Amino acid sequence: MRFLFLLFICIFSLSFQTGCKKKNSKGDYGLALNDTLRVRIATEPPSLDMQKMSDNTSSYIAENIMDGLVVFDFKSAEVGLAPALATEWKSSNQAKNWEFKIREGVKWSDGQPFEPQHVVDGWERLLNPNTASNYSYFLYNIKNAKAYNEGKLKDFSQVGVKVEGNLIKVELDGAMPFPFLLTHQSTFPVRKDIISKFGDKWTEPGNIVTLGEYNLKKWEHDRALVVERNPLYWGKPSKTKNVIFYIIQEDQTAINLFDAGKIDFLRTLPSKELSHLRKRPEFVSYPYLSITYYGFNTKRAPTDNLLVRKALVHAIDRTKITTMLQGGQRPLSGWAPYGMFGHNPNVGLAFDPVRAKKYFQEAGYGESNPFPKMEISYNTNEDNKRIAENIQAQLRENLGIQAEIKNEEWKVYLETLKVNPSHFFRMGWVGDYPDPHNFFDIMLSYADNNHTGWENLEYDKLIEQAVTFVEDKAKRLEMYNKAHKILVEEDVPVFPIFTAVAHNLVSPRVVGMPKNVMFIFPLKNVSLQ
């Protein structure tokens, strides 16, 4: 009977394992199962170029193969910072000047010494207009950085960054909590010699060089990425030797593979399955700093009309969406998520179908003048689909609008947002660092992550000034409240929906899987039983 049972398991083994093996045998890619963590990502990473990536999937890989000057410290109640490539840092001149001491003896994965100039090279590349990074605005507070990015200044030596021995000195235009920005992959060091040698292929296995806990060993596009322990890593070696990031688009397929013991960790779960998944011992849930929202294309009729945008927002009940999802999401009418300084529950446009119809009529629409074709779009995902369909139904019920729904795979979706977004498009934002500036600045008129086409110079000025009031929280909050009203009440280029909650499935054999408000998953301290 034991033989027949094992034979049965072998016959029905899924393709992610190479057949029936003995305990502690090798699985996919010839890796020992007892030293290989297997996690799911829902889509192909659009890019592993640190300065160009702008999505959560790519950063999931980046945070495990690369280090920046500092890392998040989650040991205390308030998120702090810990040393990484910088061993210490200090500020002067009321936080307008910063100095970072660079760790010595660090080597790149190809054995070359890490130098402070590699950090500056990464910042120059981020700001270089030829890079066309979505995150170039991250460093705009550095003296002359914006002018360099806009091409008004050609000499990078005039930007407020310089290397002196093993120190990097930074001069800002105004005070701000600058070190928090350096946790983000866009600010990570680069090797310009590698980029020059391999061009657009520099991020492929065998070409890419990194400084993190793991090295990129294999990238089988649209199937999996494999990383292995970096023997040259400056810190403690990762507890698990290998990690396989399986690319599995379908949520139910991922759950089936988890149940079959082929996947160890799922970081996102479909809302339809939560009612029974939350009863399982492998289920883990916690809030994180994020917003899910819909943006309007303010350059495309009919959503270029403010009255139309206000009508659409008033016609949608956020609680119907969160009730449908049943994942603990909290409806959000403002732009700063729950649990973050700057959160304001008293701003934004509430569900009001009567007022929605009033704005709709004022915009000139009704039975005698039917509303034109409108498109609602989302990146392919089961929950995103359900939200889009819910919005579509509410607009039909409350305004008589027959909106069309369109979906695209993530990489294609991002390109569409750059070229010509739909009238009403789904987006989300997970905090890069725990500060409201990181949420408000994505809607700056010059921010590449602002896909609405909306511009408001008063809003820009408020956000640019607010971040400089590092020690005057009352003044800073006052400015954020003014910016809030412009964004979600007066101009309405966006429709905030909710703050998300993380839902994970963690295999019993996994020990130490990260759980934090930043929704990041550095895997070096994860071990396997």
pLDDT in tens, 167-206: 999 999 988 889 999 999 999 999 999 999 999 999 999 9
Which one has a higher pLDDT value, 312 or 19? 312
pLDDT tier for residue 75 given thresholds of 50, 70 and 90: confident
Residue 3, judged by CB atoms within 10 A of its CB (0-12, 13-18, 19+), counts as exposed
Structural domains in the chain, CATH included, are 21-63+195-285+503-528 (3.40.190.10), 65-193 (3.90.76.10), 290-499 (3.10.105.10)
What amino acid occupies position 62?
A: A
- DSSP secondary structure string, 198-258? HGGGTTSTTT----SSEEEEEEETTTEEEEEE-TT-SSSPPSSSEEEEEE---HHHHHHHH
pLDDT tier for residue 508 given thresholds of 50, 70 and 90: very high
Cα separation values, 289 from 247, 278, 434, 436, Å: 25, 21, 7, 10
What is the residue-averaged pLDDT of the chain?
Answer: 93
Report the percent of the chain where pLDDT is more than 90. 88
pLDDT in tens, 144-165: 999 999 999 999 999 999 999 9
Integer Cα distance of 271 and 286 in angstroms: 15
Task: Tell me the backbone φ, ψ of residue 319, rounded to 5 degrees.
Answer: -65, -25
Q: Give 338's Cβ-side CA count (13 Å radius).
A: 15
Would you say residue 1 has pLDDT above 80?
Answer: no
pLDDT score at 470: 78
pLDDT score at 201: 97
pLDDT in tens, 250-300: 999 999 999 999 999 999 999 989 999 999 999 999 999 999 999 999 999
pLDDT tier for residue 466 given thresholds of 50, 70 and 90: very high
pLDDT score at 23: 54
Q: DSSP character for 455?
A: -
Q: Kindly report the pTM of this predicted structure.
A: 0.84
